[in-house]
Every structure is written in structure tokens, then in C-alpha cells.
Amino acid sequence: MAKVLILGAGISGHTAAMALRKSLGKQHEVVVVSPNSNYQWVPSNIWVGIGQMKTRQVIFPLAPVYRRKGIIFKQALAKAVFPEGDAQMASPHVEIEYVDEQQRGTTEKVAYDYLINATGPKLNFAATEGLGPDGHSLSVCTYGHAAHTWEKLQESLDRMAKGERQRFVIGTGHPLATCQGAAFEYALNVAFEINKRKLMHLAEITWITNEYELGDFGMGGAFIKKGGYVTSTKIFTESILAEYGIHWIKRAGVKKVEPGTIWYENLDGETLSVPFDFAMLIPAFAGVGITARNKAGDDITASLFAANGLMKVDADYAAKDFADWSVRDWPSTYQSPAYENIFACGIAFAPPHAISKPFKSKNGTPIFPTPPRTGMPSGVMGKVVAKNVARSIKEGKVVLKHRASMGRMGAACIISSGYGLRDGMAATMTVFPVVPDFEKYPEWGRDINYTVGEPGLAGHWMKLFMHYMFMYKAKGLPGWSLIPE
């Protein structure tokens, strides 16, 4: 019997758990450790943040699904990995701490033959003074944050209904933040809601971003085919913002949020400010802080994890100049170089470097987006890791037959605003590959036939359809495995 331990039940970890359970016989154990009793379809938090969906529509309890599928679920936080075992337990294991009501604070050592780390990001609000729901800005990164943000948005809308002007600032809350797409989508939805209420004349909406050019989205921007023409995501994004009446501040590294004021540094090294009544800013991401020890009890965290807490995998982490970055630097099996039975997928793996060109301010502050690992690549990585682990278990030795480099995989991104079947618009973009490959595609860095963008209502329908489709798949209902990641 083999035991696979998966840390995290988000898009990547849940995909891996379901795929493993499907392909492994019942004699093998699949165990999931995650602190939240619910699965959440994170992309739909945007709709929670504008009051178009209730929290209960974007979540469901994991325990009944896992019980039905024969997956063991522990509602707990992974704290430390012991890849060689320790004095009390000879086999590799992870120390976890329960967070559910009955067992809160109890610890347990959970043994594994294969470990998959899919713990996603720590939302590092603390990296920016005053940032986040415990500070002076808002977030849509979790369904709880999004519900709170909707309450605050309603307050602003009520003030505007009484004739008061409101200043909205939406974007990235740290010089190295990623996830621009989510913040951008939220900005368009806020504009849409204001416009729907015919209150735009009382709104000043500002998009603030660490991108050098708009439309970078942490993937170095792209050239996309649109209606037969090739255009840049810079033009595409600027035209959408202009159409929605949204101003922008780019190349901005947000350093501090005070009540009503955001302070940021620009590339000239100047410290500037922007006032706000409502601010939704995405924090920096880091690893969730899992540590590691060897058999002798020595701290080996640095050999498993990068300095930002994300797990090192089969990437080329050698420091290189931007000109020397290659698509080959990107991992494809997500196997830890330190232990062959440990993998990390989704946001939990440490990228070798950014995708966007790095810039520093005159003061030396790096200001540029770190790489996104969006839903589709996170799901694909989870599936590929699961396939390799299942095969390794069947063959009795580690076999890495399946690969999924972000330099060989595409991603679809639908930035939708509005809600319902007749109301709404979406900018639908597909890029292939996510990490540009200038060796294979010297002109554009990507395959221009698969790197396309179209605005319109159809993309908006697709986004709505995807919500229901991916919730259905995640619940493991009949035919779930036929739905692609």
C-alpha cells in the first residue's frame, strides 16, 4: 500500500487529489490536509466582491466529497516536513496542526510515500504597511475578503446615490505583486456597477499597477491576434480602461496604505500618493511558511524552499540576467531536487525568475510583476504531478513520464464585467505558451495562432458557464473527469 499526502485543497491540490483517487486502487491511500473546510472557486470571488454572487455560491464543503470519493481529509495546517523521518517516526512525514473545532491545536505526524505541496500563496499583506482588510485597504483574494469588500462597496455606492463623489483605487498593493488579471477584472466590474446605477459622473476610478506597461499581466505582455490584426496587450488593455472611464498609474510600487492615502514609489525613485475612499489592492504572495528538518533534526528548510517560502522544484534557479532567461529555466515535473518523492504545484512552486522584464527604481526598489500561476496552469500542474505519482506507485519506482512546463502550456483568461445573460462584456484572451519562447517563436515569443483576444458578450457567457462547470467538476459529480482543467 502507498500513501500520497497532498497539502492544500485549492485548484492544484484538489485536482491532484481527485486525479490520484481516480487512478489508484483502493489499497492506496490519498490524504488531503487543508485548513479550510470548504473548497472555493477563487475566480468567482470577483462576483462576490460586487454583490452578484453570494459566498455560498462559490464554495462547498470538502468533507462529503472526499468521503464519497474515499479520500481522507484532515482539516489542518501543514507545519513541518520531515523527508527522512525523525527520532519518533522513521518514515517521511509531515507534522500538521488541526484547526477544526473538535481538534483545534492538536498536532499529528502524517506519514507519506509521496508528498504533493499545493498550499498556494500566503497573502502577504504584512509586506506593505497598512495593506489589507486588517489595515486600510480591501481584498477579493478569499471569499471572506470579497464579501467584506462588497459591504464596503455598497457604502460607497450609497454615498454616491446621495450625491457624494467617491475615489476608487484598484490594483497591486506591493512593488512585486502578481495576479494583475484578478484586480483588473475587479476594476472593470466596479466601473460596470457604478455605470449601471448611472453614477459614473461621481466616480473617479484609478487602476494602479506595478506593470511597466499596461497589459503586462506578469507574463511580459503579449501580442495577440484580434479580428485578423496583431495588437499588443498594452493597446488592448488601455482601450478597455479608456472605454470604462478608468484612469491609470503604472510603474508604481505601493509601499504604504494610510487611511485615505496610498503611498507608492515610481521608477524615478519619487514617493507619490493617491487619495482614495475605496481601495482594493492585491498583496504580495509568499510561501505559507512550512519548515523542513532532516533525520538528525537539522533545519533544511533552505534546501527545500526558496527564500520567499515557495518550494524549489526542477527549475533552473541560477541567477541570470534578463537577456539570458530561457523557457528551459521553467520546471516541467515539479519534483523537488532534494527528495524525489516530493512535488510542488500551482502557486506553491518557486518560479526560476519573473516572466516580465525586471525594473528597479532609482532607489534600487524592484518594481515589476512576479509571475502569475493562474487557474488553468495550476490545475494542469496538479494533474500532471498526480499522473506521475500514480505511475510511480504502480511501477514501484519514481517515473516522470508526464510534463507540463509553463513554457509549453497555454492559458485562457477571461476578464469579464457585469453579470447575467444579457448584461456584461468580457475580454477573452488565450496565450500560448504562458512563458514566451523566443527560440521557437522568434517574432512574437508566442504562437500567434493561439494567442488571441476578443472583447464581447460571448466571453462573458463563457465565464459564467465556467463557474458552474468547474464547481461541478470539483464536486466530483458524474462525468467530472471528462471536464478539462
Ligand X SMILES: Cc1cc2nc3c(=O)[nH]c(=O)nc-3n(C[C@H](O)[C@H](O)[C@H](O)COP(=O)(O)OP(=O)(O)OC[C@H]3O[C@@H](n4cnc5c(N)ncnc54)[C@H](O)[C@@H]3O)c2cc1C
User: Please, what is the Cα angle at 118 between 134 and 327, to 5 degrees?
Assistant: 105
**Taking the complex as a whole, how short is the minimal distance between the CB of residue 86 and ligand X, in angstroms?**
19
Please state the three-class secondary structure of 368-401 as a single string: CCCCCCCHHHHHHHHHHHHHHHHHHHHHCCCCCC
CA nearest to 346, candidates 94, 38, 11: 11
**Taking the complex as a whole, how short is the minimal distance between the CB of residue 33 and ligand X, in angstroms?**
5
Closer Cβ to ligand X, 267 or 376, answer by number: 376
CA 237 vs. chain centroid, Å, equals 20
**Taking the complex as a whole, how short is the minimal distance between the CB of residue 441 and ligand X, in angstroms?**
22
CA nearest to 139, candidates 198, 94, 182: 182
Closer Cβ to ligand X, 179 or 257, answer by number: 179
**Taking the complex as a whole, how short is the minimal distance between the CB of residue 239 and ligand X, in angstroms?**
20
Cell of 12: 492544484
**Taking the complex as a whole, how short is the minimal distance between the CB of residue 384 and ligand X, in angstroms?**
14
Q: Which single residue is written with the C-alpha cell 512563458? A: 435
Closer Cβ to ligand X, 170 or 267, answer by number: 170
Give the whole-angstrom CA distance, residue 286 versus residue 157: 34
Alpha carbon separation from 466 to 418, 463, 473 (Å, rounded): 15, 5, 10
CA nearest to 39, candidates 154, 157, 120: 120
Closer Cβ to ligand X, 276 or 285, answer by number: 285
Element (H, E) at 483: none
Closer Cβ to ligand X, 392 or 416, answer by number: 416
Give the whole-angstrom CA distance, residue 334 versus residue 116: 9
Closer Cβ to ligand X, 10 or 424, answer by number: 10
**Cis peptide preceding 433, ω within 30 of 0:** yes
Closer Cβ to ligand X, 96 or 267, answer by number: 96
**Taking the complex as a whole, how short is the minimal distance between the CB of residue 249 and ligand X, in angstroms?**
21
Residues 6 or more apart whose Cβ sits within 8 Å of residue 180: 171, 172, 209, 211, 216, 217, 218, 282, 369, 372
**Taking the complex as a whole, how short is the minimal distance between the CB of residue 305 and ligand X, in angstroms?**
12
Give the whole-angstrom CA distance, residue 309 versus residue 122: 9
Q: Are 313 and 337 in contact (CB under 8 A)?
A: yes
**Taking the complex as a whole, how short is the minimal distance between the CB of residue 271 and ligand X, in angstroms?**
28
Which residue of this chain has its Cβ atom nearest to ligand X in the complex? Answer: 10
Closer Cβ to ligand X, 342 or 348, answer by number: 348
Alpha carbon separation from 243 to 38, 67, 157, 233, 455 (Å, rounded): 38, 49, 21, 15, 12
Closer Cβ to ligand X, 18 or 199, answer by number: 18
CA nearest to 191, candidates 379, 387, 417: 417
Cell of 159: 454615498
**Taking the complex as a whole, how short is the minimal distance between the CB of residue 131 and ligand X, in angstroms?**
15
**Taking the complex as a whole, how short is the minimal distance between the CB of residue 343 and ligand X, in angstroms?**
13
Closer Cβ to ligand X, 34 or 209, answer by number: 34
CA 209 vs. chain centroid, Å, equals 17
Closer Cβ to ligand X, 202 or 381, answer by number: 381
Cell of 443: 517574432
Instruction: Report helix, strand and coil shares of the chain as percent, to nearest 5.
Output: 30, 25, 45
**Taking the complex as a whole, how short is the minimal distance between the CB of residue 326 and ligand X, in angstroms?**
24
Closer Cβ to ligand X, 77 or 199, answer by number: 77
What residues make contact with ligand X under the rule CB under 6 A?
7-13, 33-36, 42-43, 45-46, 77-78, 118-121, 140-141, 179, 182, 288, 290, 346-348, 373-376, 378, 413
**Taking the complex as a whole, how short is the minimal distance between the CB of residue 43 and ligand X, in angstroms?**
3
Give the whole-angstrom CA distance, residue 149 versus residue 155: 10
